[in-house]
Structure formats: C-alpha cells, structure tokens
Amino acid sequence: MEVKTMEFLGIWIAAFLTLAIFSFLYKDNPIYKFAEHLFVGISAGYVLIQELTGTLIPNLYHPLREALLGVSPAKMSRLGALVLGVMILLRFFKKTTWISRWPLALIIGTFAALRMTGYTQSDLIKQINGTMVPLRGQGLPFTSWEGASVINNLILIIGVITVLIYFFFSLEHKAPLKQGALIGTGFLMITFGSSFGYTVLGRVSLLIGCVQDLYIYAERRYGYSSLFCGVGIIIYLVLWEIRNRAKNRTMPTSL
C-alpha cells in the first residue's frame, strides 16, 4: 500500500515520540524531557486554537458581526460577553487582577447553580428513587446473578444505608451506628476493590493501545520506524549513562 511522504514522516515522528516517553521507565533523561516539554507546548497551542475556533469565533465574533451589520440586532447583547472576556484577560497584569473578579463571579455563580440543580435531580433524588426497590412480590426471584432479586435488593438497601451511616459524623459512632458503619466499611472496601480491578483493566488497555500503534509503525511500509527509533534511543541511553558515570567518577568525593 503506497504511503505518502508526509504520512511516512509523521509515522516516524510518532514512533520516536512514543518511545521517547517510554524511555522514562529507565530513568529521567534528556530525550524524555524534550518529549515532555514538546507535549506541554503543543497542547497549549492546540488548546488556544480550539478555544478560538470552537467558541470565540462562532459564539462571539459572528454574532457581534451579524448585530453590527444589522442582520440580527438582538445579538448586540453579546457585547456583554466581550466586555467580561476582556475583564478576565486583565488578570494577566498584577495591577488589574481585581477586575477579573466580576467575570469569575459570573462563572462561579452559573456553575454553582447548574451543579446544585443537576446533582439534586440526578445524584440525589434519582439515586434515592433507585434504592426504593421491592423486597418481595412482583414475580421477584429469591436470588439471581444479574438483575433484581430479593437478596440483591436487600444487599443494595443495606449497602447504601450503611455507607451513608459511615459518613455520618454528626453523631458519635456508638452502637448501633458503630455496627452500621462497620458494615458500611465492608461495602466500601468491595467498592474500592472493584475500582482497583477496573483501574488495572483501564491502565493496561492504554498500554496495549500504544503497543498496537508501535506494531503498526514497525511495518515495512513505514520503514520499520519503531525498530530503528527504539534501537536509536537505546544506544543514546547507553552512551548517556556511560557519560554520566564517567562524570561521577571524575568528580571529587566529599570527606
């Protein structure tokens, strides 16, 4: 399959940068540091352009332009956004930092209101609703591996209540609260254990994805880029390590 020159160059760059990051597993070294700082710079530049094209141009520039041209006069209200936007940029300078408090107050007020209502509806009411499950009748089986059953529903209710008891600090954890909190701890340990299991799954998947890419980069059509970059980085690390050890030997030892 024919590969274009720019794609070929891009694959070599990608292979080199991937392996440069992996070189950190040996030790923090100049190649890793270069890749890390490149990542910071490219990310920052990327974010700026995306904010420009994603929000500022469609939601600020175009509406104001339409308002000024008389196409949609109502959009002149977007001038308020421009003013507040300039005010937040003034945070850049020490003397004018206080001006940014107004737009920050707008953001924080909006976030607080939206989060409060969102959490109440979704995380509080709906979750409490979901805990009100039947313990008998309605054709409910006694046990099941998946789905509702008498045992599963009972464990769910006990689990939710005891975990909430564990986090209730307004009263001292004496019996019966103490026993409730103890059971709650057990449920929390199972929760954290499951999260640990899934975290391992997730992290390993990220590595697998990277290695899959390296296998693709090592194909003949891309000039075995992963292999050459890998060997090159290993040679560099060996030489760098030899140089460092030589430098340490020649340095005077302290008394």
Partner 1 sequence: MVKDKVPVYITIVVGVFMILKFFVQLDFIKVVADELEQWCLVVFALAIILGVANILRLNLRIVLRREKDWPYKLVVVVSMGVMILVGIADLAIHGDISTGSGFQYLFQYILTPLSAAMFALLAFYIASAAFRAFRARNIRAILLLVSGALVMIGRVPIGASLSPIFPRLSDWIMTVPNAAGQRGLIIGAAMGMIATGLRVIFGIERPYLRGE
Partner 2 sequence: MQNVKLEREMKSGGLDKRWIFLAVGALVLAFLKLPLHLSYAPNQKTLGVYKAIEGLPSGSIVYLSADYGPSSKAELLPMHRALVYHILNRDLKIIASSVWDSGPPLIDMVFKEVCEELKKQGKEKKYGIDYVNLGYKSGQDVAIAKIGTSIPETFPRDYLGTSVNQIPLMNGVINFSQIGLLCNLSVGSPGARQWLQQVQTRYKVRMVAGVTAVMAPDLYSFYQSRQIEGFLGGLVGAAEYEYLLKRPGFAMSGMNVQSLTHFLILGFVLLGNILFVSEILRQRKAKEMKSTST
Q: Which residue has the tokens 């190649």?
A: 31
Residues 53-92 that bind partner 2 (CB under 8 A): 53-55, 57-59, 62-63
Q: Report the partner that residue 129 touches, choosing among partner 2, partner 1, none (CB closer than 5 to 8 A by kind).
A: partner 2
Would the CA dihedral through 107, 108, 111, 117 be positive or negative? negative
Residues 160-189 that bind partner 1 (CB under 8 A): 160-164, 166-167, 184-189
| By CB under 8 A, residue 6 contacts partner 2 | no
Q: Which residue has the tokens 């019996």?
A: 175
CA distances from 154 to 131, 137, 146, 183 (A): 10, 14, 14, 14
**Using CB under 8 A, which of 1, 5, 40, 136 touches partner 1?**
40
| By CB under 8 A, residue 131 contacts partner 1 | yes
| By CB under 8 A, residue 102 contacts partner 2 | no
Of 80-88, 171-179, 230-238, 242-250, the segment contacting partner 1 by CB under 8 A is 80-88
Of 65-73, 127-135, 225-233, 240-248, the segment contacting partner 1 by CB under 8 A is 127-135
Residues 221-250 that bind partner 1 (CB under 8 A): none
Which residues lie below 8 Å from residue 76, measured CB to CB, with a gap of 6+? 64, 67, 68
* SS3 at position 56: helix
As a dihedral over the C-alpha atoms of residue 129, residue 130, residue 131, residue 132, rounded to 10 degrees, the angle is: 60
**Using CB under 8 A, which of 21, 140, 150, 216 touches partner 1?**
21
Nearer to partner 1, 184 or 218 (CB): 184
Task: Give the tokens for residue 56.
Answer: 């500022």
**Using CB under 8 A, which of 82, 89, 154, 208 touches partner 2?**
208
Task: Give the tokens for residue 209.
Answer: 């994805």
CA distance 3 to 8: 6
Which residues lie below 8 Å from residue 148, measured CB to CB, with a gap of 6+? 133, 134, 140
Q: How many residues bind to partner 2 according to rule CB under 8 A?
A: 49
Of 80-88, 110-118, 164-172, 239-247, the segment contacting partner 2 by CB under 8 A is 110-118
Q: Report the partner that residue 245 touches, choosing among partner 1, partner 2, none (CB closer than 5 to 8 A by kind).
A: none
